[in-house]
Structure 1
Amino acid sequence: MSDSLDNRSKLKKYIDQLTDEDQQWFEVLAQYLIQKGWTADFPVSQFLAILQANQLHFSDENKPRRFLDDLEKNGIIEIKRGKARRPNRVTLKFYMYRGPSLEGCVPLDSPLYIKRSTDSICESYLEQSMKPGKTAAFLKIKAAKHTGKTSLLIRLQNHAKNKGWSVGYVDLESSQFSQNNQQLFDQVDSFLDRFREIVYQAYQIEGSSRSNLLDRLTSGVRCTSYLEQQVFTTSKKPQLLLIDGIDQIYGKEVQDEFLWLLRTWYEEKMKNLPGKTVKWPSIVIAYSTEPYSQSNFRESPLQNVGTSIDLDDFIADHLLGLSEIYGLEWCEGVENANKLMNLLAGHPYLVNLALYDMAIHNINIDDFQTQATLPPYKPFNNHLRRYLDILNNNEDLKQCFIKIIKGETIQFNDLIPENLAKLGLIKFQSGKPKVRCELYNIYFKNYLGL
């Protein structure tokens, strides 16, 4: 065990002593190999292409080859040299994430992104819908905050581009939906006109989206008619429209109008019917369930529309893979992963906070658990405090949650238990509500005086 720890310490020291340029080279190499499952056929020409794609230039054409040889010599990579003109196979043996703590969307090139089963499910639905004569897909990615919705959406965008599809991406949370420092979510006509313009721009169509011929139509009909005539029927490629931040319109004036517009598209434009050719794109929307749970909406125009995608949590294998990326020295890997699973139940955001904290402060899993489950509950205190504020501002949610923590029977004739699940505080197991993870149990027992 000590030999293994000593070896990892040597590898860390080697990486730390690389020049700034060499560290950049190693980072792009590692990110490529991690995305390929830590090993890939890798001729030197491939490395040259990756360096050039990342604007990393070199004057000596032999330097990339020497760089790879030096990494192999020091145990960072393993190279199995191909025979009979077959490419070399390179395996990454050691990596240590050196970036900032992960907050918000995981960048497309980040090694910290973990592909889950929902990634493959979404890709499969979309690929099936792009076949001739098929109904366009309508996917609804929904989950509580900090669970990876936007990160998945941008990877579906990248998947679509790699397939050669025509793809547009619209984020309702962006500054594009504000005017004179005021959001447009309480102005139906202005919002739908802006949405139409942004979709038009997202598909990179040249020219203005302005059309005086449609001014006499209602804003919803105007939006639909224009997109159909000027965007969706102009391309012969398979098409995909991604809409992020749907939760931004919850409780706003535009909510029902916009959601009914999407429902109308699904029912009238996206289905494959006899004598009708589908010209509408497949649509994927993503939204947080948290503001919805706090607004007491009992029904949505999007009920029974399309396919709901619930993001799954990390499993122990995901934690093991991430621990390697963070450079943690886990000799008892499976045992440590299980300990963290017991505490956090695979919550993606909390898992990354935990692993980053252990890596930065060089502490083991047992010391981390002690730290995380006692005041001030670092590094989770901000996350936990946000939930506590929500509960303290909603007495019904708070009292229901207290009963669940205590294991008492609750009534299911209202939306409160369901809203706690949408917040991400509980999960239903065999029809029974359970606190989402042990960390929440410990924290809220303390702060709710239980």
Structure 2
Amino acid sequence: MNYQDFRIIVDRNNNIRASSEQGEVSSELRWEQNQINLTLQLIESGQTNHELFKALGSQLYQALFPDKINARFQATIAAAQANQESVRLRLIFESPELASLPWEFIYEEDTNIFLANNTETVLSRYIDVPLQQRDIKAVDLPLKVLLVISTPTDLATLDVVEEEKLIREALGKHIEAGEIELDVLQEATRQKIQQKLREKLYHIFHFIGHGVFDNNQGYIVLVDNAGKAKYMDDENFANFFLGNKNLGLVILNSCQGAVVASNQAMRGTAPNLVRRGIPAVVAMQYSIFDNTAKLFADEFYRTLALGYPVDAAIQTTRNAISMEVGLDKRDFATPVLYMRAKDGIILDIKKKFEEPIDEPVINHNLIESLEYPDGSVPLDSPFYLERDGIESVCYQTLKKPASLIRVKAPKLMGKTSLLRRIISEGIKENYQGVYLDFGSVNKEVITNLDKFLRWLCSKVALELELDNQVEIAWNPACLGSNDNCTAYFKKYILRPINSPLILVLDEVDRLFPYSEVLEDFFGMLRSWHEKGKTEEIWKQLRLVLAHSTEVYIPLDYHQSPFNAGLPVELKEFNQQQIEDLANKHGIDSQDCMLSELRKMVGGHPYLLRLGMYDVAVGKTNFQDLLQTATTEAGIYRNHLSYLLDILRAAPELVQALQQVVNSTAGVELDSVEMYKLHSLGLVVREKNHVTPRCQLYRDYFRRIS
């Protein structure tokens, strides 16, 4: 089943924003607070009946879905139904008071449906924690479940034998079928829980016991070594799961496990677990009876083992409870799902009972002739594709005295491969060539102008096998750093080689954040270029600068090298180039799956080559490649993980990218954020707006955020 997303955010000022594939609309939440509170008091006092729940649900619906929001919601439902899809309704409340309401009762009068029971509209409380979601692991059945039953002797007694019996009865057929593997821990001390979690990598942690919410703090009740109650606050309870990358779900079958603070949004046991890294938590907002607990376990685990998203599994379970127990009891609205996985996938379940798929046959002869896409494309490689005459233009420009070439393209688009070819072409003309990658320079050097220019002179001399005279020639008492560097290049580099020098500086945007260096350095490069118009010795210098993004720092127009010379921008491969690349890999260029690969990764050179390589050598096929593209089992996992690590170190980029991948239209961003995302290759620009570069990035960063 596919889903259309409908996300509702209510801020602290009761402003509502609803976003879907149809766009975003805004309104204001207006709720009859006194009336809702009165209805809740009746429910809390035990007056439970169908009509009372309808009244509460209708009040909640009218508050959350005012006219414009409701119209957009109904349009989303209609569009989903037309495409035989469901709607994923994700609720985000920044107001503590609103977050504490039982939204699982929400009721639509026109259709006479409680939304939390409607399997065509899956409902969850969404915790929006930017890009800290752990990668989804591919999981073989059986699902490994740890059931922890806590029965302190000094609190109301739980029937341990009966509790375990209920769960085993509910899961019995799933255990026999090899879908579930159940371990039970009845002595719920801190030490024994930790020991169990160390002994085995569990997928699900299921707790049965007492829970308390007091003074705006959630507690889980464990036992001490004497069997008496030991209250553990939600912060410490979350520490059980730190670093556990296999756990996809925590189930809290305890009183008040789903309750949140009225003075701080998302403060409570269940939401705190999600904020601390658990992909999803199911908790109970009311006490749950034994027959309902058994039904919950049976339906929920069965649906989850079938590979359903967790929000679809909980929705199906609520529906089953309502049909079995009835709508005159609050049981159907008792399970609350908090999650951070946008698509609801918390475990990538691989069915062990599917028909076996033939393992791909690796063509070892072909492997020898193919090249794994790692780094720049070798000079003699048949897998280098020329870019619509760009190379020949660069080669011709190179022959002009004092020429300057500026190459711009995001990472992994082929800049370095082009730069290597420019140097190679110059060497054919008996030029000298030096390639320097600023991305590999130590920060200590690159943030100090004098150190950096000394490094530059020393490095160029080393590459040209010239004596290093920096310590002798440098005269800081009389000359500034730029003057010393310029004098050194003229006397100790250009004059001794007595031939044209191609100086290629790659990743020069590494300097952009360092104002103490960039203005003087780039001003010096521009001055060298200008000197070449009048001074014979400077005509020898051919400068080639490469960068991944626009120059977003202010530089004097007449002192910037980015306003001079030949600008070159590398684009994605076009259809003809993609077909040529496929032919070079022995892949039928008319294969319909090739067009599906292009839909997934666009014309991105690296992503295309990596996909074609693995298909060509038989490591995978197009169908499997596309199905697993955004998962830990996919061929792009290392590339995506690399990008994710960069983003996690820059929270402002995380938020910016979230806006982009969750929008169906172009998004206008802060200029620095836009340029940085573009330099990573994550977005494409059109005027002042950006969109995801390819579907792979949209799907992956949507899924993990």
Q: TM-score per shorter chain, which class?
A: 0.5 to 0.7
Task: Please state if 1:440 is matched with 2:702.
Answer: no
Q: Name the aligned partner's letter for residue 433 of structure 1.
A: V
The match for 2:641 among 385, 409, 418 is: 385
CA–CA distance in 1 between the matches of 2:379 and 2:425?
11
Equivalent position of 2:386 in the other structure: 115
The match for 1:317 among 576, 579, 584 is: 576
Q: 1:398 to 1:187 in 2, by over 3 A?
A: closer
Q: 1:261 to 1:281 in 2, by over 3 A?
A: same
The match for 1:283 among 536, 540, 543 is: 543
SS at match of 1:241: strand
Q: Is the 8 A contact 2:511 2:518 kept in 1?
A: yes
Q: Name the aligned partner's letter for residue 232 of structure 1.
A: L
CA drift of 1:310 comes to: 1.7
The match for 1:101 among 372, 381, 404 is: 372
RMSD: 3.4
Q: Is the 8 A contact 1:140 1:308 kept in 2?
A: yes
Q: 1:187 to 1:154 in 2, by over 3 A?
A: same
CA–CA distance in 2 between the matches of 1:345 and 1:97?
27
Q: 1:323 to 1:281 in 2, by over 3 A?
A: same
Q: Name the aligned partner's letter for residue 490 of structure 2.
A: E
Q: Name the aligned partner's letter for residue 568 of structure 2.
A: I
Moved over 6 A (4+): none
SS at match of 2:407: strand
CA drift of 1:239 comes to: 3.3
**Residue correspondence of structure 1 range 74-93 to structure 2 within 5 A:** none
CA–CA distance in 1 between the matches of 2:508 and 2:644?
24
**Residue correspondence of structure 1 range 139-150 to structure 2 within 5 A:** 139-150=405-416
Equivalent position of 1:193 in the other structure: 454
Q: Is the 8 A contact 2:668 2:688 kept in 1?
A: no
CA–CA distance in 1 between the matches of 2:471 and 2:433?
23
Q: Is the 8 A contact 1:139 1:284 kept in 2?
A: yes
Equivalent position of 1:255 in the other structure: 518
Q: Is the 8 A contact 1:315 1:341 kept in 2?
A: no
SS at match of 1:286: strand
Q: 1:164 to 1:303 in 2, by over 3 A?
A: closer
CA drift of 1:277 comes to: 7.5
**Residue correspondence of structure 1 range 17-96 to structure 2 within 5 A:** none
Q: Is the 8 A contact 1:97 1:325 kept in 2?
A: no
Equivalent position of 1:416 in the other structure: 673
**Residue correspondence of structure 1 range 220-369 to structure 2 within 5 A:** 220-234=482-496, 237-252=499-514, 253-267=516-530, 269-270=531-532, 272-273=533-534, 278-289=538-549, 297=553, 301-328=560-587, 330=588, 333=590, 335-369=592-626
Equivalent position of 1:38 in the other structure: none
SS at match of 1:101: coil
The match for 1:376 among 623, 629, 632 is: 632
Q: Name the aligned partner's letter for residue 658 of structure 2.
A: I
CA drift of 1:337 comes to: 3.6
SS at match of 2:436: strand
Structure with bigger helix share is 1
The match for 2:445 among 184, 208, 211 is: 184
CA–CA distance in 2 between the matches of 1:156 and 1:407?
40
Q: 1:386 to 1:168 in 2, by over 3 A?
A: closer
Q: Is the 8 A contact 1:168 1:199 kept in 2?
A: yes
Q: Name the aligned partner's letter for residue 693 of structure 2.
A: R
SS at match of 1:308: strand
Q: How many residues align?
A: 337
CA drift of 1:358 comes to: 1.3
CA drift of 1:368 comes to: 2.4
CA drift of 1:380 comes to: 0.9
Q: Is the 8 A contact 1:320 1:334 kept in 2?
A: no
CA–CA distance in 2 between the matches of 1:287 and 1:100?
26
Q: 1:284 to 1:367 in 2, by over 3 A?
A: same
Q: Is the 8 A contact 1:96 1:327 kept in 2?
A: no
CA–CA distance in 2 between the matches of 1:172 and 1:388?
22
Q: Name the aligned partner's letter for residue 138 of structure 1.
A: L
Q: 1:363 to 1:261 in 2, by over 3 A?
A: same
CA–CA distance in 1 between the matches of 2:687 and 2:456?
41
Q: Name the aligned partner's letter for residue 312 of structure 1.
A: K
Q: 1:145 to 1:160 in 2, by over 3 A?
A: same
CA–CA distance in 2 between the matches of 1:385 and 1:299?
34
Q: 1:147 to 1:196 in 2, by over 3 A?
A: same
CA–CA distance in 2 between the matches of 1:233 and 1:304?
28
The match for 2:435 among 169, 177, 190 is: 169
1:335-371 CA distances to partner (integer Å, 9 max, x unpaired)?
A: 4443322211111111121112212335432332223
- Mean CA deviation greater in 277-286 or 392-401: 392-401
- TM-score, normalized by length of structure 2? 0.43
Equivalent position of 2:479 in the other structure: 217
Structure with bigger strand share is 2
CA drift of 1:424 comes to: 1.6
CA drift of 1:311 comes to: 1.4
Equivalent position of 2:464 in the other structure: 203
Q: Is the 8 A contact 1:142 1:311 kept in 2?
A: yes
Equivalent position of 1:425 in the other structure: 682
CA drift of 1:240 comes to: 2.0
Equivalent position of 2:30 in the other structure: none
SS at match of 2:563: coil
Q: Is the 8 A contact 1:139 1:309 kept in 2?
A: yes
CA drift of 1:213 comes to: 5.5
Q: Name the aligned partner's letter for residue 308 of structure 1.
A: P
CA drift of 1:224 comes to: 0.7
Q: Is the 8 A contact 2:668 2:689 kept in 1?
A: no
CA drift of 1:111 comes to: 3.0
- Mean CA deviation greater in 101-110 or 387-396: 387-396
CA–CA distance in 2 between the matches of 1:116 and 1:411?
30
CA drift of 1:158 comes to: 0.7
Q: Is the 8 A contact 1:404 1:433 kept in 2?
A: yes
CA drift of 1:243 comes to: 1.9
SS at match of 1:139: strand
CA drift of 1:385 comes to: 2.6
- Mean CA deviation greater in 377-386 or 241-250: 241-250
CA drift of 1:437 comes to: 0.8
1:72-115 CA distances to partner (integer Å, 9 max, x unpaired)?
A: xxxxxxxxxxxxxxxxxxxxxxx665466322222223333222
CA–CA distance in 1 between the matches of 2:472 and 2:632?
60
CA drift of 1:278 comes to: 4.9
Gaps of 5+ in 2: 1-360
Equivalent position of 1:72 in the other structure: none
Larger-gyration structure (1/2): 2
Gaps of 5+ in 1: 1-8, 17-94, 131-135
CA drift of 1:266 comes to: 2.4
- Mean CA deviation greater in 338-347 or 357-366: 357-366
> How much identity, in percent, do the aligned residues show?
27
SS at match of 1:376: coil
Q: Is the 8 A contact 1:96 1:326 kept in 2?
A: no
CA–CA distance in 2 between the matches of 1:250 and 1:431?
20
